Structure 1
Amino acid sequence: MRPRYYTPNEVLAHSTLQDIWISFLGKVYNLTPLCEKYTGDVLLKPIVAEAGKDISHWFDKKTKDIRSHVDPITACTFPYAPHGRFVHIPPPCPRTDWANDFGRPWWKDDSYCIGILSAKTRLIKIINTLTSQENVIQVCSEETMKEIESRYLTWNEHADSYTWKYNGVNLDMNKTLDENDIKDEDEEFYKLSMTDDEFLPAIHLYFNDDLTEA
């Protein structure tokens, strides 16, 4: 099964203590169970403060572990937590009240990982030729048309009853926008100082009935 892709805006929508997502190093994590487990613990504060955001800057990209620093007093290497020590980070000095029997730290626990953060999102316009309804939606560039169709169900629950076309050509629903030759021209618009929002690729939906060719 393909991993699910998420936009930064989707991650941002989950930014409360009762529903907290974060992203780092290209993946999306649901830390709600972690917050429930450590309810009331002050060590949750730095994590909650970053709810809905990307915290890749907390990590060493090579080791994929928390960045470290050398304590100038003890000369020992410790995790670098400039915003305050957080859950599963050991204290700077030996303490008898710190339980280290939690197993894998949360940032190495794949059970919290729910998908991949899109490296590039795109806006596309979907036009229903049956109703003339137009919708502009944000999608992940890595998604197949079938996955984009799933996003569009919010506006049209019968989306799979339509043939999807671009420039009059049927789209392969198992391929991405780029693979269907719907190119991302954001960079070109930027170079030309043009607003890409005004030149969105338009995908036309044709209802499949006895009079409509698929």
Structure 2
Amino acid sequence: MDRPRFFTPAEVAAHNTAADLWVSFLGKVCDLTPLMEQHKGDDLLFPIMQCAGKDISSWFDPETEDIRRHIDPLTNCERYYTPRGRFLHIPPASPRSDWASDIGLPWWKDKRYEVGLLSAKTRWIRVINTLTSQEQRLQVCSEETLTEILQRYLSYNAHACSYTWKHAGTSLDMSLTLGENNVPDEDLELQELRLDRDLFTPAILLHFNDDLTEG
């Protein structure tokens, strides 16, 4: 089974327009752009548009993974709790002739919109090319393997696959995460000590593999 792709909150936040709209909730990342296009002009899209690029987990009951519910003080009936206003696929408070109840799966349960998972913990690393001395800071997901981090780095160095990745003099297992490779994440300790995290960012050294060298 293919691994899901992990995203940082910053990556989700970059998709913050009606023409390119992502949200995250309950650890999932969803691309709602097709939904916005399908229902373009519908006023019920407005609360979703207000939260474009943001995490909307507060809308949901983590146990049921459905929209939170409450007792309506006017009708004493249970209904969805939508303090930002009613949005798409939420039924009206009372029966209406213009409400189509056969909507199928509501968008928050439709896996077609899921594009990956939100990282539970992001971290920064410095990737240093020992051949050229070029250094690149990368924000990565703690759940990502080094192979997946390499994919992020390819936009800075298209030949990154031709290097051996090392930390503290040890070659890294590209199939494992940074943590599994014993690359420490000291963010919490640095925060408690009130030290600048940027000054203690772990360095990953890239050593070029000279394929012409005879063993």
Q: TM-score range by the shorter chain?
A: over 0.9
Distance of 2:24 and 2:111 partners within structure 1? 13
Distance of 1:125 and 1:204 partners within structure 2? 8
Distance of 2:205 and 2:199 partners within structure 1? 17
Distance of 2:187 and 2:143 partners within structure 1? 16
Distance of 1:33 and 1:50 partners within structure 2? 16
Change (3 A) 1:56 1:213: farther
**1:89 counterpart letter in structure 2:** I
Aligned residues: 214
What are the ranges of 5 or more consecutive residues in structure 2 without an aligned counterpart? none
Alpha-carbon deviations, 1:126-177, whole Å to 9, x = none? 0001111000010000000000000001100111111100111110000000
Taking structure 2 as the reference length, the TM-score comes to 0.97
**2:199 counterpart letter in structure 1:** E
- The equivalent of 1:129 in structure 2 is 130
- The equivalent of 2:58 in structure 1 is 57
Change (3 A) 1:43 1:209: same
What are the ranges of 5 or more consecutive residues in structure 1 without an aligned counterpart? none
- The equivalent of 1:139 in structure 2 is 140
Give secondary structure in 2 for the equivalent of 1:147. helix
Tell me whether 174-183 or 71-80 shows the greater mean CA deviation. Answer: 71-80
Tell me whether 140-149 or 66-75 shows the greater mean CA deviation. Answer: 66-75
Change (3 A) 1:94 1:212: farther
**1:28 counterpart letter in structure 2:** V
Q: Is the 8 A contact 1:206 1:212 kept in 2?
A: no
1:8 maps to 2:9: yes
- The equivalent of 2:171 in structure 1 is 170
Report deviation, 1:38. 0.5
Report deviation, 1:213. 9.8
Distance of 1:2 and 1:180 partners within structure 2? 19
Alpha-carbon deviations, 1:13-40, whole Å to 9, x = none? 0000000000000110000011011000
Distance of 1:201 and 1:27 partners within structure 2? 28
Give secondary structure in 2 for the equivalent of 1:82. coil
Q: Is the 8 A contact 1:125 1:200 kept in 2?
A: yes
Q: Is the 8 A contact 1:182 1:201 kept in 2?
A: yes
1:192 maps to 2:185: no
